[in-house]
Structure 1
Amino acid sequence: MSLRLLIVDDSRMSRLILQGFVEQAYPHWTILHAGSGEEALSMVEQHEVDIVSMDFNMHGMNGLEAALVLRETRPQLPIAIVTANVQGAVQERIEKAGLVFIAKPITADAARKLATLAGA
């Protein structure tokens, strides 16, 4: 199954690490990148996206804010917040919003969780 994954993170290194794990496990997926919440919103307008991996702490619009805006136009879009911010309150906000929480550091398990979220 070929899916389009949008990786949103203000850290280029984090985007590339996740991309590497995804490409190893799911080489047929197409990977798109965005470095901010605002850029993610623009990418989803321009490209068909099947799943989004979104960092929480970013400059400008944080990942949760961007995810909630995406949900307004694409309510069925699977979105995972991938973050090192593992505070219970943050996890609760993410889960209450109907999003999936994935803790950093990024591992191969993150790619598997994204695939499960996407139904792959």
Structure 2
Amino acid sequence: MATVLIVDDSRLARDMVSSVVTSLHPDWTVLVASSGADALAMVEGRTPHAAILDYNMPGMDGLELAGHLRERFPALPMGFLTANVQDSLKKKAEALGCGFIPKPITTDKIRAFLAGAGL
């Protein structure tokens, strides 16, 4: 049974991604956080198997969160769920070993990310 971390400051986005993951894998654990700080607290003592992160969040953005997660979980598959796919962001994300899940959110995109993560 896998654990997927979903972090987005948009309640709608969190609910949509969580719903898709749960519909695809009802037996998985889905951790949902609205900020980077909440996400880091949520994974204390847990090991997620994949993380889906928003890039644009107040406070700690997705890149900063990805850096913290990478330090704690070196092999964690991470994907940025964002409409912001500028070259500078792509380079920074790739340096952290993160992929992209382009918005809008669809079941096929989430399924493909999870499959690519080996889940």
Q: CA RMSD in A?
A: 1.4
Under a length normalisation based on structure 2, what TM-score does the superposition of the two structures give? 0.91
Distance 1:48 1:98, change over 3 A: closer
Task: Give the structure 2 partner of residue 34 of structure 1.
Answer: 33
Aligned to 1:111: 110
Residue 113 of structure 1 and its aligned partner are, at CA, apart by 2.4
Map of 1:58 onto structure 2: 57
Counterpart Cα distance in 2 of 1:43 and 1:60: 17
Cα-to-partner distance string for 1:27-72 (whole Å, 9 max, x where unaligned):
2211111101111111111433211111000000101111111111
> Is 1:12 aligned to residue 11 of structure 2?
yes
Instruction: State the identity %.
Output: 45
| Moved segments of 4+, more than 2 Å | none
Aligned residues: 119
The answer to whether the 8 Å contact 2:70/2:96 transfers is: no
Contact 1:5 1:52 in 2 (8 A): yes
Cα shift readout 1:53-104 (whole Å, capped 9, x = no counterpart): 1100000010111111111121111111111212222122212221111111
